[in-house]
Structure 1
Amino acid sequence: MANQKQWFEEVTAPMTRLIFWPGSLGNRGFAAVLDAARAGGFSETAISPLTLDQMLTGGRSADSIREQAAERGVRLAEIDGVTSWAPIRYSAGMPARLRERFDLSASRILDLAQAAGADRILAAGAFERGAVGIDDLVASFASFADRAAERGLDVELEFVPFWGIPDLATAWEIVRRAERENGTLLIDTWHLLKASTDPEAALGLLPEIPGDRLTGLQLADALTTEPARSPLRCFPGEGDLPLGPLVRLLHDKGGLTHVGVEIFGEAIDGLDNAAAGIRTAAAARDTWALAQTPENS
């Protein structure tokens, strides 16, 4: 397991990196995320904007935060989960813990990304479905992407079935019509294959999307016996979702720059930080190997 980083660099395209997603550890904190990432051999991790904001406003310097990560061989590559690019940051009924996370202005998000030395920002729409028209979403995404480009940042858009950008078709329309070189998509396999109302339509659309517009991949599995909106996730390979064909398709498109596992809940809560890092790295490795396997084998 100690050689996960070397393995991943050897078997993936030159620009594809293994990323640790901090949501997998819930509220364990920044040090826990770094310890997990180091144990798994991750070259980079995402970071919650609220976590970073609280450290900076609490007196930590940006240099010390980046150095803490670098000491573990990890780089802060992505600001994870941003909604203030949109006209409405979150729905009125959103729980307080999520409102706090999402209640950072677009300007503050850009400052945080720069302080972290990140490459990109992960955007989502946490407003209620239908609360913002598609034209306004396209304009807002284009504007935010332009502001991010001024700082050398990319912006990935993730659809979340129970929020305001509920499916791949909507997310792709926003990115496509915005026509920003630094605006791309991230695919969460749980969102696409489990929580989507029409996963077959999403899978049918994917071949039409250019590879360079599909840059991020979050891996998770689920049991098909669970309700469609059940929050339960399990490690890739421990559920029933058809991950193999999806991973092969995205791999063959050649645009992915980073791949990681995002698991939260009982599947990972019982693991300590190091074990969680090792387990998520192994799951990413094993799932990525599906892309090297002929579809009918």
Structure 2
Amino acid sequence: MCTWVPQWQAINFDQKFNEEHSTSPCEFFEIATNLGASTLSLNAIFPSNLYSIDELAHYFYLIDQMANGHGLICDLEPIPMWGIKTIEEAWKIIQMSGSKYGGLVFDSVHFIRSHSSLNMLDVVPAERIHSVQISDGLLQLGDNVSLEEDCFFRKWPGDGEFPLIEMLQYLQNKGALTELCAEVFSFENKGKSLEQIAYLSYYSIEKLLRKAKIDKNELNNSITLKKF
């Protein structure tokens, strides 16, 4: 959901992008309820510094209360090209809001591009890391490559330079590896069939777990290795 603050629109994408992300909270709650969802991800697609951290904590509190009334839990996904850039900032907002259940979405590409470190997660309780999204890429952006461009040229897990094994081992040792999936936005996938995408989504993660010496059968009982 993007419409959880009054001025929610992105300025680094075109109007069509904003139109496609304009689903209102009430519409979002109805869709989530019909799908049987238990959590929702809040994206801060507005420009950085538009709101103070106190204001963001207030808006998170309001949407979190609304979501809880529909049996839903709100998560923040920090994304460095927008208004909430780092895990550290997102967790501070959740804490300041007083939310009892709100948590984080951990996304590997946003984690790397925000220059975050795993020790930033030390202060976050394991049960507040609700979802882990994995993709791969080059550690350093190429010359004149923007965050916006890089976001749509992700690589499948294992095909890049990200320290994904270290990330997964940290999350497993913390007890936070409970929902895991590949999220690979890339124009390179354009010619692939749905079956190919489904195969890559599942088996790239399975292969990564093997390399990390993580037995998916021994993970937390609540783990969901998403298979489409």
Q: Normalising TM by the smaller chain, what interval?
A: 0.7 to 0.9
Q: 1:131 aligned to 50, 54, 59, which one? A: 50
Give the 3-state SS of the residue equivalent to 1:174 in structure 2. helix
Could you say which residue in structure 2 is the equivalent of 1:39?
none
CA contact (8 A) 1:145 1:180 kept: yes
Give the 3-state SS of the residue equivalent to 1:218 in structure 2. strand
Once the two structures are superposed, residues 208-244 of structure 1 have per-residue CA deviations (whole angstroms, 9 ceiling, x without a partner) of 2110111100000002354373232101111011111
Q: 1:219 aligned to 117, 121, 134, which one? A: 134
In 2: Cα distance, 1:211 partner to 1:291 partner: 19
In 2: Cα distance, 1:225 partner to 1:112 partner: 38
How far off its partner does 1:92 sit?
4.2
Could you say which residue in structure 2 is the equivalent of 1:164?
83
Return closer, same or farther for 1:267/1:248 CA change in 2, 3 Å cut-off.
farther
Residue 23 of structure 2 aligns with an amino acid whose one-letter code is: L
Q: 1:274 aligned to 195, 201, 209, which one? A: 195
In 2: Cα distance, 1:128 partner to 1:151 partner: 29
Could you say which residue in structure 1 is the equivalent of 2:110?
191
2:207 matches 1:292: no
Give the 3-state SS of the residue equivalent to 1:292 in structure 2. coil
Could you say which residue in structure 1 is the equivalent of 2:122?
207
Could you say which residue in structure 1 is the equivalent of 2:162?
241
Could you say which residue in structure 2 is the equivalent of 1:119?
38
Question: 5+ residue gaps in structure 1?
Answer: 1-81
In 1: Cα distance, 2:53 partner to 2:28 partner: 23
Could you say which residue in structure 2 is the equivalent of 1:252?
173
Question: 5+ residue gaps in structure 2?
Answer: 215-228
Once the two structures are superposed, residues 38-58 of structure 1 have per-residue CA deviations (whole angstroms, 9 ceiling, x without a partner) of xxxxxxxxxxxxxxxxxxxxx
CA contact (8 A) 2:105 2:130 kept: yes
Give runs of aligned pairs for residues 14-33 of structure 1, distance below 5 A: none
How far off its partner does 1:204 sit?
2.2
Q: 1:154 aligned to 73, 80, 83, which one? A: 73
In 2: Cα distance, 1:161 partner to 1:83 partner: 15
Give runs of aligned pairs for residues 175-186 of structure 1, distance below 5 A: 175-186=94-105
Q: Which has the higher helix share?
A: 1
In 1: Cα distance, 2:154 partner to 2:108 partner: 10
How far off its partner does 1:186 sit?
0.4
Residue 91 of structure 2 aligns with an amino acid whose one-letter code is: W
Q: May I ask how many residue pairs the two structures share in their alignment?
A: 208
CA contact (8 A) 2:104 2:129 kept: yes
Once the two structures are superposed, residues 70-120 of structure 1 have per-residue CA deviations (whole angstroms, 9 ceiling, x without a partner) of xxxxxxxxxxxx111123211345312221122122222112211222111
In 1: Cα distance, 2:46 partner to 2:38 partner: 26
CA contact (8 A) 2:108 2:136 kept: yes
Give the 3-state SS of the residue equivalent to 2:200 in structure 1. helix
In 2: Cα distance, 1:291 partner to 1:145 partner: 35
CA contact (8 A) 2:106 2:129 kept: yes
Where relative contact order (Cα < 8 A, 6+ residues apart) is larger, the structure is 1
CA contact (8 A) 1:90 1:127 kept: yes
